[in-house]
Amino acid sequence: MIDYNVNEDGFYGEFGGAYIPEILYKTVEDLKKAYLPILESQEFNEELHILLRDYVGRPSPLYYAKRMSEQYGCQLYLKREDLNHTGAHKINNALGQILLAKKMGKTRIIAETGAGQHGVATATACALMNLPCVVYMGATDVERQHVNVQRMRMLGAEVHPVTSGNMTLKDATNEAIRDWCCHPADTFYIIGSTVGPHPYPDMVARLQSVISEEIKWQLEEKIGRNYPDYLMACVGGGSNAAGTIYHYLNDERVKIVLAEAGGLGMETPMTAASMQIGTVGILHGSRIKLMQTEDGQIIEPYSISAGLDYPGTGPLHCNLHATGRAKVIAINDDEVLDAAFELTRLEGIIPALESAHALGALKHMQFKPDDVVVLTVSGRGDKDLSTYLKHI
């Protein structure tokens, strides 16, 4: 049987690895040695558990969506990560990594951010833990996501606008890596998704795996069976999806459906569907599927949701796609908006644009009436109201 988890060398099939500059070798090696013993220790788990419960508000509910179930002819349960403190799943990972950073004796935190959601989660964790925080953000995104910049600054973080390249997420990540190279001894780099060099994809997946850990006992409680027929989630870098599927990766009874950002259509240049249209290459230390020209220049991705427009997808998901373990569907902007309005009107839940990609995938499925479907609502839509209102 195939094991879909990372192997000892940091690979998922042909994807993953740690392609890093020489100067970071020791830092990444130290992290590789430290992360598993710490993440598996009782002390770490107790501290994290208390934070997740009392600060984040976990467990997040598993909500039976009755009207949506009728609409799609299945038993649809929504995993409500939108109800977490700071409005999305990203806080699960930020708190876990900052606890790890403290245990490793690091005294300074850096992060990259695109839409600003990971930056806000990291700035929040840093305020809580009293650690200095520097967030790199493309200058274009600083302008587009002004409210999140102000939230980060109010939380005490230094936000550095990055003016290289297209001034978006990829450029912010390059700049964060540059900073890390200059301060490898005291600085911990909190990466916001299941991307980057090994051990980051595995570490982030483990920190988000609280999602599927809860799904297991919540389903048992609700339907007397601890697994669904389908798991569905949206994929940017892949962290909310990784958390949703983590404990079911090798359970073939459970089908996995991943929604990536189609943008204006996979066949157009305005897309972020990197698993389906990308080619294999190395980005930010990892061998993944990415959007690039024939000579390896990154093609700027496009999506209606700022949180999904990374030009690649993490190695775990690339492997799930390549092996056929997961079905990957590109959801276009118009389907995303329809899905967001549908959930709002049928269930009174305004989802993040990112999460609406997972909802948009429902229309592409053919369910049997008793199929149990768990779909993760990764975040809330408050941040996306101006986009929604333009389309009302």
Ligand X SMILES: *Cc1c(COP(=O)(O)O)cnc(C)c1O
By CB under 6 A, tell whether 240 contacts ligand X.
Answer: yes
Binding-site string for ligand X from residue 327 to residue 366, where x marks contact by CB under 6 A and - marks none: -------------------------x-xx-----------
**Nearest-angstrom CA–CA distance, 326 and 277:** 16
Q: Using CB atoms, what's the residue nearest to ligand X?
A: 379
Q: Cα 384 vs. chain centroid, distance in angstroms?
A: 17
Q: Give the active site residues.
A: 90, 112, 378
By CB under 6 A, tell whether 145 contacts ligand X.
Answer: no
Here the tokens at position 10 are: 């940091």
Give the residue from 77, 89, 283, 324 showing the smallest Cα distance to 200: 283
**Nearest-angstrom CA–CA distance, 182 and 172:** 16
Name the one range near ligand X by CB under 6 A: 1-9, 30-38, 54-62, 237-245: 237-245
Here the tokens at position 367 are: 């369910």
Name the one range near ligand X by CB under 6 A: 143-151, 234-242, 266-274, 281-289: 234-242
**Nearest-angstrom CA–CA distance, 113 and 136:** 6
The Cα-based distances of 212 to 137, 279, 316, 329 in angstroms read 30, 30, 16, 21
Binding-site string for ligand X from residue 185 to residue 214, where x marks contact by CB under 6 A and - marks none: --------x---------------------
CB of 351 to ligand X, least distance (A): 8
Q: Give the contacts of 293 (CB within 8 A, at least 6 positions apart).
A: 299
Name the one range near ligand X by CB under 6 A: 32-40, 152-160, 235-243, 285-293: 235-243
For ligand X, the closer of residues 260 and 371 by Cβ is 260
Position among 196, 228, 311, 379 found at the interface with ligand X (CB under 6 A): 379
**Nearest-angstrom CA–CA distance, 326 and 209:** 17
By CB under 6 A, tell whether 381 contacts ligand X.
Answer: no
Chain residues that interact with ligand X, rule: CB under 6 A: 88, 90, 117, 193, 234-240, 307-308, 352, 354-355, 378-379
